[in-house]
A and B are shown apart, each in its own frame.
Chain A
Amino acid sequence: MLIKYFAWIKNITSCDQENLDSKKLKTIDDLKIHLNTKYPDLKKHIDKDTLRFAINQEYLSENKKIYKNDEIAIFPPVSGG
């Protein structure tokens, strides 16, 4: 599955997107645990629930199942306009 990062999150991940092995990641909560381990500097933001998640360009409001062809975006609260 494709994970996309935006804004200052890219400074932590050192990339704007990556493909993750979907076999062990069944839900968004699984993904959060995985990211907390892979990117320790992201953990405090994920734990404080300050980041937004979108699956296939739809905002996420609860833990959901994720699938291998999903595009999951992680970003801070938006600041356009």
Chain B
Amino acid sequence: MIKIQKEDFNIEVEIELIKSSLPSVGAVTSFIGYVRDFNNNKNVNSINLEVYEKMVHKELTKITVKAKQKWELIDCLIIHRHGYLEVNEKIVLVACFAKHRQESFNACNYIMNYLKKYAPFWKKENYTNNSEWLENTN
């Protein structure tokens, strides 16, 4: 499942929504990304995340299909926010559901690495006196 949204999300609720109907799942690995308060030697107040919605659904669907085939995942969940976010807010959740832990660990890492390189989001950090678009460091 892929959700691209402005609203905050509850990690446990979202994972349980999927897990509750999958009794064969023995392992869930999750990654949560947050807005940090310091980056590029500057104090960050907030960020703005821009998204190319049509393309992001295609890209994330592509990677979840690959991950499911590669590691026999039972399911996977990606939630990525966009819009204005303040420090400490959640940005992204990737959760991989598998029978065993190794597949879920590997898939979660794989999906997150792909997302950082290819998912069409752009982050602008807001400092006290100015704002800057971040460069991709991946």
Contact = CB atoms under 8 A, between A and B. Distances in A.
A42 B122 CA distance: 18
A57 B54 contact: yes
Interface of A: 4, 6-8, 54, 57-59, 71, 73, 75-81
B89 to A, nearest CB: 14
Given A6-B52, A57-B55, A75-B52, A80 B120 contact: yes
Rank and list the top 7 A-B pairs by shortest CB-CB distance, nearest first. Answer: A80-B121, A77-B136, A57-B55, A7-B122, A79-B134, A79-B123, A81-B116
Contacts of A59: 118
Prevailing SS type, chain B contact patch: mixed
Nearest to B31: A81
A76 B122 contact: yes
B122 A80 contact: yes
Interface of B: 33, 49-52, 54-55, 58-59, 80, 91-92, 112, 115-124, 133-136
Nearest to A71: B54
A79 B135 contact: yes
- Of B51, B55, B58, most buried by chain A (CB within 10 Å of CB) is B55
B92 A81 contact: yes
Given A57-B52, A80-B80, A81-B121, 18 more contacts: A6-B52, A7-B122, A8-B133, A54-B52, A54-B55, A57-B54, A59-B118, A76-B133, A76-B136, A78-B117, A78-B119, A79-B121, A80-B49, A80-B122, A81-B33, A81-B80, A81-B116, A81-B119
A78 B91 contact: no
Contacts of B118: 59, 78
